[in-house]
């Protein structure tokens, strides 16, 4: 998705069939879909929608149809349908069948490009068993249909149009998306909400036609679920949304919107009384979770400007402690959005901006805006500097604890936590660490594991809630220090006290294994909060998982050696009960804790790679994850209760 007005350039070039450039074909997409959309699971499935939305303009309507197909409509100019001079076929067909073909690659048609890889709607077409394009343009309605990337008919005129725009309807191919083709409403809502904040005054609508409601007569009927996402002030409102569960340190957000050397830059930031830094960066609406030159420029401009102001006004004299760059960012929530005509992405997930020219542009923009803000708001400026000094003092208190973690973590097994039952293999790629709550479950896991490659670390009691703790308290926690030590990672650099060095990471699967109840869900959330705030690189590199122990064991009565049937949901339990002859023929055991399972049962259902279900933890939307952790682990009860009521399921609250 581009900016609200993606008009032809200043030279007045038009958007027509000649504007479409062909870069390469679709041959590899169906063979290697993960290269183009990330994966073929739930994440990749939703990425199809994002690619179509990112190709749209102005008002956008997204509909989840009853059959789980998706319809995306916009009121833009409509994809050109005229004959493409080089391809000798309709420009619409070129856009829908050739990878990287589109007006966004022509500087004369669009200013910037959205989309993670710019593969656009052609990639969606290749991975859909059915796709229909309806174009309103030049007073006519044009239609063309496709299957698995190939047209099933020519472009045809089916009526007259008084408006302009494009409507794409597609149904993902179950041969590609073998795990699921069912769309999650909340996942799509989160992305559209984010896009609304990033593109102020653009209206986006999400409709779910699958929804049902029960009438007073108990009969289920269709119910249209609908949300409209619209932001009048853009990033200002985004920061307010992210900080909704935090206490503001300053009265109003610091905001800038400018253009430096042809790079549109928009930034909003707000200091709060918490202890973590929450800075989210975007390039052409894509969340650059690995940062890049725009983030480096932001941090540099923020640090130099704040330090210069504090020195100028003699505010650091009484600090009696050296100020570090990350002290200036403690308790800061910020969103950085830049538009780059030809972005260069690099890094582990190709979401790190590499354009060198962006760094100086962002740094200069931040410095100018922040200088003005500090001069015009001296009381807020003093509060920010006092917060920086407090952060520096706390960091100094935490340094010794961090150094203790460093020494233990770098000793290749020497000084490992007493409770760690390590594995014999030393190849991290083959090794797994199960983090288990309590000695009872830990003991069962130790007995049931494969000692060759599975290690177990029992935790004593609940881990510290790091969302509400200062950094020195986090590193003073024995439980947290044991996790660092067991993993073998080192922490902290001059630039970032929480930065991880994963070069000596001892396990490439770190599995949180907690009870399948409310208490277990809380423990899982506490550990994930710690990983998100202090060890996020583990998540980014795909090393963190959650185990999924069964909820029930169902056996048929009056059998000498009954065969156990394990169930992970109420629906699965009911199905097994019916197959075994009904409730009167049910012996049902509800597992309330891992300690209730024998070592063989725990191994067979939850630890054995042949039979277990692992849920990989990944960051679909870093800003939303930040907000949710803040809400779940903060002090404000009503939003937490509302979230749990909306998302929890009976007997499986963490599903």
- Hey, how many other C-beta atoms are within 10 angstroms of the C-beta on 471? 24
621 secondary structure, DSSP code: -
Q: Which of 542, 206, 234, 251 has its CA nearest to residue 380?
A: 251
Query: What gap in Å lies between CA 44 and CA 37, rounded to an integer?
Result: 5
Q: Does residue 496 have an active-site annotation? A: no
Return contacts of 254-262, CB within 8 angstroms, 24+ apart: 254/369, 254/370, 254/373, 255/369, 256/365, 256/366, 256/368, 256/369, 258/365, 258/368, 258/369, 260/361, 260/362, 260/364, 260/365, 261/357, 261/361, 262/341
Active-site residue identified among 519, 572, 596, 608: 519
Query: What gap in Å lies between CA 480 and CA 448, rounded to an integer?
Result: 25
SS3 9: coil
Q: Does residue 600 have an active-site annotation? A: no
Q: Does residue 519 have an active-site annotation? A: yes
Active-site residue identified among 134, 327, 437, 537: 437
Active-site residue identified among 58, 243, 517, 537: 517
Active-site residue identified among 471, 476, 515, 626: 515
- Hey, how many other C-beta atoms are within 10 angstroms of the C-beta on 644? 13
Residues 363 and 27: beta-carbon distance below 8 Å? no
Residues 303 and 332: beta-carbon distance below 8 Å? no
End-to-end CA distance of the chain, in Å? 31
Residues 297 and 361: beta-carbon distance below 8 Å? yes
Query: What gap in Å lies between CA 469 and CA 636, rounded to an integer?
Result: 16
Residues 411 and 404: beta-carbon distance below 8 Å? no
Q: What is the full DSSP assignment across 98-114?
A: STT-BGGGSTTT-S---
Query: What gap in Å lies between CA 553 and CA 576, rounded to an integer?
Result: 10
Q: Does residue 604 have an active-site annotation? A: no
Phi-psi group of 71: left, alpha or beta (phi > 0 → left; psi -120 to 50 → alpha; rest → beta)? beta
Active site residues: 437, 515, 517, 519
């Amino acid at each position: 998705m581009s900016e609200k007005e993606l008009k032809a350039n200043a030279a007045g070039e038009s958007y027509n069939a000649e504007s479409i450039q062909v870069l390469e074909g679709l041959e590899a997409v169906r063979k290697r879909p993960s290269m183009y959309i990330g994966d073929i699971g739930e994440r990749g499935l939703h990425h199809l929608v994002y690619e179509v939305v990112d190709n749209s303009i102005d008002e956008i309507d997204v509909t989840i149809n009853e059959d789980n197909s998706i319809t995306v409509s916009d009121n833009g100019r409509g994809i050109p349908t005229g004959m493409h001079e080089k391809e000798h076929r309709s420009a619409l067909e070129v856009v829908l069948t050739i990878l990287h073909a589109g007006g966004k690659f022509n500087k004369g048609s669009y200013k910037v490009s959205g989309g993670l890889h710019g593969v656009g709607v052609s990639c969606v077409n290749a991975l859909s068993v059915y796709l229909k394009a309806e174009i309103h343009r030049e007073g006519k309605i044009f239609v063309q249909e496709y299957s698995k990337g190939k047209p099933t008919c020519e472009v045809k005129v089916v009526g007259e149009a008084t408006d302009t725009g494009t409507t794409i309807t597609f149904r993902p191919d179950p041969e590609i998306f073998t795990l699921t083709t069912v769309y999650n409403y909340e996942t799509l809502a989160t992305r559209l909400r984010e896009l609304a904040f990033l593109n102020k005054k653009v209206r986006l609508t999400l409709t779910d036609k699958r929804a049902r409601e029960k009438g007073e007569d108990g009969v289920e009927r269709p119910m249209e679920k609908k949300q409209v996402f619209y932001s009048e002030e853009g990033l200002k409102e985004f920061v307010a949304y992210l900080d909704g569960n935090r206490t503001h340190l300053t009265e109003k957000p610091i905001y800038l919107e400018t253009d430096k050397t042809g790079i549109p830059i928009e930034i909003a930031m707000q200091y709060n009384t918490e202890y973590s830094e929450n800075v989210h960066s975007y390039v052409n609406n894509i969340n650059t979770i690995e940062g890049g030159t725009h983030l480096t420029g932001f941090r540099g401009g923020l640090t130099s400007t704040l330090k210069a102001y504090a020195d100028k006004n003699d505010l650091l004299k009484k600090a009696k402690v050296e100020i570090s760059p990350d002290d200036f960012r403690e308790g800061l929530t910020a969103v950085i959005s830049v538009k780059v005509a030809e972005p260069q992405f690099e890094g582990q997930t190709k979401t790190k901006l590499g354009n060198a020219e962006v760094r100086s542009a962002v740094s200069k923009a931040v410095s100018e805006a922040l200088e003005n803000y500090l001069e015009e708001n001296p009381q807020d400026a003093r509060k920010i500097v006092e917060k920086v000094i407090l952060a520096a003092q706390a960091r100094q208190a935490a340094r010794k604890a961090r150094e203790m973690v460093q020494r233990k973590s770098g000793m290749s097994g020497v000084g490992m936590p007493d409770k760690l039952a390590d594995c014999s293999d030393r190849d991290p790629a083959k090794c797994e660490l199960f983090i288990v709550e309590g000695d009872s479950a830990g003991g069962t896991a130790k007995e049931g594991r494969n000692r060759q490659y599975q290690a177990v670390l029992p935790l004593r009691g609940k881990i510290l809630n790091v969302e509400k703790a200062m950094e020195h308290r986090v590193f003073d926690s024995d439980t947290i220090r044991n996790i660092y030590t067991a993993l073998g990672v080192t922490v902290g650099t001059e630039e970032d006290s929480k930065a991880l060095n994963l070069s000596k990471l001892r396990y490439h699967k770190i599995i949180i294994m907690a009870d399948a109840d409310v208490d277990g869900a809380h423990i899982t959330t506490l550990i994930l909060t710690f990983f998100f705030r202090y060890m996020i690189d583990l998540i980014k590199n795909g090393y963190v998982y959650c185990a999924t122990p069964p909820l029930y064991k169902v056996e048929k009565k009056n059998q000498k050696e009954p065969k156990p049937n394990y169930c992970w949901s109420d629906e699965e339990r009911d199905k097994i009960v019916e197959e075994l002859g009904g409730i009167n023929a049910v012996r049902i055991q509800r597992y309330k804790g891992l300690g209730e399972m024998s070592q063989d049962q725990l191994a067979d259902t939850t630890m054995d790679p042949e039979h277990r279900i692992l849920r990989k933890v990944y960051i679909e939307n870093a800003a939303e994850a930040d907000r949710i952790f803040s809400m779940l682990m903060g002090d404000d009860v009503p939003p937490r209760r509302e979230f749990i009521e909306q998302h929890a399921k009976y007997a499986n609250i963490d599903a």
